Chains A and B, each alone.
Chain A
Amino acid sequence: MTRKLFRQIVNGLIIVLVVFAGFYFLAQPYAFQGSLIEPPLPTADFSLKQADGKNFRLSDQQGKLVLLYFGYTFCPDVCPTTLYDLARAKERLGENASEIQVLMITVDPERDAPDQLEKYVTTFDPSFIGLTGDITELESIWSDFGVYRKKNETNGASGYLVDHTSRVYVIDRNGNLRLTFPFGMEFEAMADDLAYLLDSE
């Protein structure tokens, strides 16, 4: 009798605890795993030619989340790692994946021809877009996004290598810079942040 009562009390307490824990977690605001930009920062629009000759304009993408990365095709390590993770994050969004546009703007316009860039980025996902332009156009975009980029001569077969900012910039559906992802962030975490942004705006 007392044992039965005791068990009922324990069960009751567990239920109360679970319900409170549920409320507690629901009441917590979503914690972004990337770096949140608060308030969102309006981005400077840009327009660059794609490999097929069409113009790509950032402001035409409104309604989609744009994931912007600055890299170069000569880079065999960090850039492919990032693009592959972006492809996996996008895939993880399932039917919402079509609301994501991944862009790579080159930091190496001398070596990255438009068709080569396109071939490179589409190996990760056929929807990815690679963009280049003339150096003045690119320099103004790099500076608008605060991208650091520096050529370093090597005496080896690489000729030169390019140091570059390794973050991914997330531009929301209204064209504002909302979030950045540091290099090495898990793709599941990126997908969580992107899913939240897609749901909440």
Chain B
Amino acid sequence: MMKSSLLFILTILVLILAACGASAGNDSLEISDVWARPGLADGNGAVYFLIDNSTGEEDTLISASSDIAQAVEIHISMMDGEVMQMKPQHEVSIPVGKTEFKPGGLHVMLIGLHDDLNTGDNFQITLKFQTAGEEILEVTVKKP
């Protein structure tokens, strides 16, 4: 009698741990390789990173902010034939898998930098996702 209830409790414990483990391991939006190129005070900058969405569901990036510049927007550069265009994006869908913000593509644009950004500097930006909420990123300034 004692033995079987102990076994029951143990089984429940194992199940709970397994569930927690699964959510901690998979249910996440991982953002890595966060960098910005050097920039000049009053000029603009761009931040790049890699998002790995393993939540099992699509999320949406709805805004980006930082106190490093007067304004922060999400932009995309794209080629139309020979012509390069840059367009602000209200939101960016983040499907399951990898979404790369990279030169010549999606980037977080820093408009009106308060100071020069020099190689080796660090600063923070905050990304806001529909489902995952806010993610604070540590940005390193470097040459590509």
Provide the bound-state CA to CA distance between A175 and B143, in Å: 33
Interface, chain B (partner A; CB < 8 A): 37-40, 43-46, 70-71, 73, 75, 77, 79-80, 82-88, 103-104, 107, 109-112, 143-144
Q: In terms of DSSP, what is the predominant structure of the interface of chain A? A: loop
Known: A77-B104, A148-B83, A163-B85. A119 touches B109 (CB 8 A): no
Q: Is the CB of A123 within 8 A of B84?
A: no
A-B contact pairs, 19 of them (CB 8 A): A75-B44, A76-B39, A76-B44, A77-B46, A77-B86, A77-B107, A78-B84, A152-B85, A154-B88, A158-B111, A163-B83, A163-B85, A163-B86, A164-B83, A164-B84, A165-B83, A166-B84, A167-B82, A183-B79
A149-183, CB under 8 A of B: which get 1 and which 0?
Answer: 00010101110010111110000000000000011
Provide the bound-state CA to CA distance between A120 and B38, in Å: 11
Q: Is the CB of B83 within 8 A of A77?
A: no
Known: A77-B104, A84-B143, A123-B40. A157 touches B111 (CB 8 A): yes
Q: Is the CB of A158 within 8 A of B107?
A: no
The yes or no answer to A80 lying at the interface (CB within 8 A) is yes
> Total number of A-B contacts with CB less than 8 angstroms?
82
Provide the bound-state CA to CA distance between A165 and B84, in Å: 6
The yes or no answer to A8 lying at the interface (CB within 8 A) is no
Q: Is the CB of B40 within 8 A of A166?
A: no
Known: A157-B70, A157-B111. A75 touches B144 (CB 8 A): no
Could you say which residues of chain A place their CB within 8 Å of the CB of B40?
119-120, 123
With most chain A CB atoms within 10 A of its CB, the pick from B70, B75, B83 is B83
Provide the bound-state CA to CA distance between A77 and B87, in Å: 12
Q: Is the CB of B88 within 8 A of A74?
A: no
B108 → A minimal CB distance (Å) = 10
Provide the bound-state CA to CA distance between A79 and B43, in Å: 13
Q: Is the CB of A183 within 8 A of B84?
A: yes
Within 8 A of B (CB), among A128-166: 148, 152, 154, 156-158, 161, 163-166
A78-91, CB under 8 A of B: which get 1 and which 0?
Answer: 10110010000000
Could you say which residues of chain A place their CB within 8 Å of the CB of B44?
74-76
Q: Is the CB of A81 within 8 A of B103?
A: yes
B114 → A minimal CB distance (Å) = 14
A75, A76, A123: the one contacting B110 at CB < 8 Å is: A76
A79 → B minimal CB distance (Å) = 9
The yes or no answer to A184 lying at the interface (CB within 8 A) is yes
Provide the bound-state CA to CA distance between A119 and B70, in Å: 20
A111 → B minimal CB distance (Å) = 10
With most chain B CB atoms within 10 A of its CB, the pick from A123, A158, A183 is A158
